[in-house]
Structure 1
Amino acid sequence: MATEVKRFAAIQDQFNTYIGDIVYATMTTVDRMGRPRARVLIPVWEIVDGQPVGWLATYKTPVKAAHLANNPHTTFSYWTARQNAVAIDTVAKWVDDLETKRHVWHLYRQTSPQGAGYDLGQFWQGPADPKLHVLHLAPWRVQVIRGTDLHSQIWQPNNVR
């Protein structure tokens, strides 16, 4: 059974703990025919004005770019064998300005609040590297599930309810 929470703060600690423990998320997009496609990535999350905001440093592959151009809705799923899970439904948008890329570079380097980041220098030369692309992830639904009793809590921003 799921419980709805009005403020993200009610699930923030669990969110941070689970993501920090699990690290890798399965990102799912859909193609123009509605077929899902999953890939495993490491987004980072921060809290802005009491709400989660996600960032994904990634390569802008033709498949990913086409899917998001057709439908910007994505889901990020985290799961551990202890049955702890986080599902984050988002709207993704490519962001290309250097200031944002620097911010995201720093978030990954400081390992994000959850401890799930890494050094982006392993893949890109720096924030200005033209091969580095960033997705802004705006969650419209977040669900955390505690594995010990499968208790589920769901948060949605006020404008989605």
Structure 2
Amino acid sequence: MSAQLAAVAPAFTEMANDMVYATLATVDRRGRPRSRMVHALWEWDGTSLTGWVGSVVTPVKRAHLAGNPYVSCNYWDGVERYDTCVAECRAELLLDERSRREGWERFASAPPPLGYDPATIPMWEDGPDSPAWGVLRLEPWRLRVFPGAYARSGGKAGEILTWQAPED
């Protein structure tokens, strides 16, 4: 783990988990982006950062991730603070029984607003065995945290934080 990740990941996790909803973009086979709103939950354990999304399993999402497993997850609080943060990630759609149950429990047991009962969504009313339920695991390769206070103060308050994984 880099010292830079240790400085950026907690700030990203706090900001993203406070906002809850993000725009997640995938890319189709022609390189065109497609965005959708997601309810994401981020976990920082002191050494690694992982994002989780309870996901509707669609043929489009499957095809996009099969062709290009990278996504952009963008948050923006445009109401009061104007904070923004972005996670550029490698995404994996987890569809095995264990991952689906663990993902379901992760969201069902987390405190609100991150936690929610996935069964309240009609297409998932059958629980983690619902064919429409899947879990996206997000492993960031780049993070950016941009506090609105920084922009509002002309760069005198707050700090823009960025981390990028070393090239493979």
1:75-133 deviation digits (Å, cap 9, x = unpaired): 00000122211100111112122222222112212337x94232111122222222211
Residue 156 of structure 1: how far off its partner (Å)? 2.8
CA-atom RMSD in angstroms: 2.2
Amino acid at match of 1:120: P
Q: Which runs of 5+ in 2 are unaligned?
A: 152-158
In the alignment, what sits opposite 1:80? 77
**Does structure 1 conserve the Cα–Cα contact (< 8 Å) formed by 2:6 and 2:46?**
no
Q: Which of 30, 46, 51 is the matching residue for 1:54? A: 51
TM-score (norm 1): 0.84
- Look up the equivalent residue of 1:156 and give its one-letter code: Q
Q: How does 1:1-161 map to 2 (within 5 A)?
A: 6-48=3-45, 50-81=47-78, 82-111=81-110, 115-123=113-121, 124=124, 125-150=126-151, 151-157=159-165, 159-160=166-167
Q: Could you say which structure has the higher helix fraction?
A: 2
Count of aligned pairs between the two proteins: 155
CA–CA distance in structure 1, aligned partners of residues 3 and 54 of structure 2: 30
Residues 104 and 7 from structure 1, CA distance in 2 versus in 1: closer, same or farther, beyond 3 angstroms? farther
Find the structure with the greater CA-based Rg. 2
- Alpha-carbon offset, residue 62 of structure 1: 2.0
In structure 1, stretches of 5+ residues that fail to align are: none
Is the CA contact (8 Å cut-off) linking 1:140 and 1:160 kept in structure 2? no
- What is the identity, as a one-letter code, of the residue corresponding to 2:141? W
CA contact 2:87–2:142 (8 Å) conserved in 1: yes
